[in-house]
Amino acid sequence: MFKLYFMYPFTQTRFDKAYFEGHMLRAQALFGSACTGISIEHGNAKIFPCDYAAIGVFEFDSKDAAFDAAVPVLKQICDDIPNFTDADPVISAAIVQTPAARA
């Protein structure tokens, strides 16, 4: 599994959580069937110190599937960001490995 992360740092600017949720669904649709799942994590610094207001996670079967799906639509997805925040996202990626079970 391969994941793309869009992490939005806490700033003094605005962050519209409701719009962000719609943005994530639109981005998933743009990625097409290559995107096997999404999740949204909302930080709450009042409960526990955290660096990000929100993290959007997109799941793919492989790095190649992620890049093949993302490259044609990434500009369109990023152009929508100012509609819900003034913060610049930190974009990261990871290969997910499941540890082998111990006997």
Split at pLDDT 50, 70, 90, the class of 103 is low
Tokens 């913060």 correspond to 87
pTM of the model: 0.89
What's the pLDDT tens digit per position in 53-89?
899 999 999 999 999 999 999 999 999 999 999 989 9
Token couple for 102: 């111990």
Domains of the chain with bracketed CATH: 2-95 (3.30.70.100)
Q: What is the pLDDT of residue 95?
A: 94
Q: What is the 3-state secondary structure (H, E, C) of 36-101?
A: EEEEEEECCCCCCCCCEEEEEEEEECCHHHHHHHHCCCHHHHHHCHHHCECCCCEEEEEECCCCCC
Tokens 């990023």 correspond to 78
Q: What is the pLDDT of residue 100?
A: 82
- Count the residues in the chain: 103
Q: What is the pLDDT of residue 5?
A: 96
